[in-house]
Amino acid sequence: MSSDITIPDSFDSETQLVDTLSEPYEEDVEFARRLDGDVMVLGAGGKMGPTLVKRIQRAIREADADTTVYAVSRYSDREVEREIGSWGVETLRADLMDDDALASLPDCENVIYMVGKKFGTASQEPMTWALNSYLPGRVAKRFRNSRIVAFSTGNVYPPVPVNSGGATEMDPTGPVGEYAQSCLGRERVFQYFSAANDTPTLLLRLNYAVELRYGVLVDLAKRVYAKEPVPLEMGYVNVIWQGDANSVCFRSLELADSPAETLNLTGPEVLSIRELAERFADAFGCDVTFEGEPKDTALLNDATRCHERLGEPKVPVHDVVDSVASWIEQGGTTSGKPTKFHVRDGDF
């Protein structure tokens, strides 16, 4: 996965955006042809879930594979459930913290785990730990005979020197704050059950998926457009187009192993927050102001191992920057969930 994919400079609608985010690559279709068993996505109603399940469903259809895709969520937004169902995906409404609901889910050979809590963790620490560390154990026991890919986060690493290129999978973890600590708890629990039950498992440490409705680039663009100061203390960042992240997630099912594997998932560049903000200012034709100074360290991941095994991202970041600028300028819908990428104390 290496040749670049061009995305539109300007999107006309969310429908066009979702179609672009979910269009499967040739590699996705090839993988769908050789994948054994059905696929279940747990936590499918979140920010990344809908476009992931649609990409998988489209890849399966193009591959003419006899595979069912299950999308499991509480579906607090019924419109999300309706939309996912309209794609031919089998939606299952379930609160995974409920014993009966978890037990009632069908057996499935391939499970993608996207459940987690980040926003508001500073005031809901017990729930954060329950969802991020306790629930994974129950899911791992329920699907002990499955292949599991579980989303984690680059926050399990400490900030690293900017000139290091980012933390690798071989570097020690050092989570800052209870959110990051609970995410490391998620990893340790999946690792335990992977070894105990011989469950093939892969942990994807993601930093940061971006599209036009949410993500670091949207957060920056909105600040610049509103003429709000851009904080610089976390002066550098990694990002990856959400379509690329979802492609890797789907195909990484093939890399699940016991004991569990870990894999960093992000783009190849270390990006300057100042330079990104200035690029948005140029696009908007406005000035930009900053507060603070960049530290010598930042939350950065080195995803070389991922790129070697599954290919580099296809969509260049500079194309996403242009599309985000156009989306914000035309008043496109955003999620209202800032990443808080600039936070250094882990208090989300």
**Cα–Cα distance, 52 to 58 (Å, whole number):** 10
Q: Is the CA virtual torsion 100, 106, 109, 112 positive or negative? A: negative
Write out pLDDT tens, residues 221-253.
999 999 999 999 999 999 999 999 999 999 999
**Cα–Cα distance, 6 to 21 (Å, whole number):** 12
Encoded tokens for 83: 């939309």
pLDDT band for position 345 (cuts 50, 70, 90): confident
Closest CA to 294 of 258, 344, 227, 243: 344
Q: What is the dihedral of CA 174, 178, 183, 184, to 10 degrees?
A: 40
For residue 153, the SS3 value is strand
> Does 323 or 348 have the greater pLDDT score?
323
Q: Would you say residue 121 has pLDDT above 80? A: no
Parallel/antiparallel/unpaired status of strands 39-42 and 110-113: parallel
Encoded tokens for 233: 């203390």
* pLDDT (mean) for 55-68: 98
Write out pLDDT tens, residues 271-322.
999 999 999 999 999 999 999 999 999 999 999 999 999 999 999 999 999 9
pLDDT value of position 193:
99
Residue 311's CB is within 10 A of a number of other CB atoms, namely 17
Q: Would you say residue 119 has pLDDT above 60? A: no
- How far CA 37 is from CA of 40, 146, 147, 254, in Å, comes to 10, 10, 10, 12
Q: Is 247 exposed, middle or buried (0-12, 13-18, 19+ CB in 10 A)?
A: buried
pLDDT band for position 341 (cuts 50, 70, 90): confident
Report the percentage of the chain scoring pLDDT > 70: 97
CATH number of 14-209+241-268+302-309: 3.40.50.720
Residue 162's CB is within 10 A of a number of other CB atoms, namely 17
Q: Would you say residue 203 has pLDDT above 80? A: yes
Q: Would you say residue 125 has pLDDT above 70? A: yes
Q: Are 296 and 235 in contact (CB under 8 A)?
A: no
